[in-house]
Amino acid sequence: MAAEEGRVTAFLAFMDEEAVIYPHQGEPVRGMISFKTLNEGSERGDFVFLSEPTFAMIAKSGELGYTLGEYKLVGNEPGNGEILQRGFYCTIWKKQA
């Protein structure tokens, strides 16, 4: 989905309205509208967001789970495979009715 519609649109499609994002620098961002505002104009084509889960766990009931992993923003221009930013993430998943 992100490749076709953009990173921000893909995040918003799966994000809960009460989600909290902890950006690389700055204060936590609360809610979908704040996340969208924070990322306005960031759908540039000069970098790619890559994430790789390193651990995942899900409750026996299937109602809650989480993933831990590393992410990178990598330059996407010809000849520029430079890592622009890297970090770690924790994503909490809750089953929707």
At 3, the pLDDT band (50, 70, 90 cuts) reads low
DSSP string, 51-73: EEEEEEEE-TTSSEEEEEEEEEE
- pLDDT for the residue numbered 45: 62
pTM over 0.75, yes/no? no
Query: What strands lie across the sheet with 83-94, from one edge to the other?
Result: 47-58, 64-75, 83-94
Between CA 11 and CA 97 the distance in angstroms is 19
- Please tell me whether residue 13 adopts helix, strand or coil conformation: helix
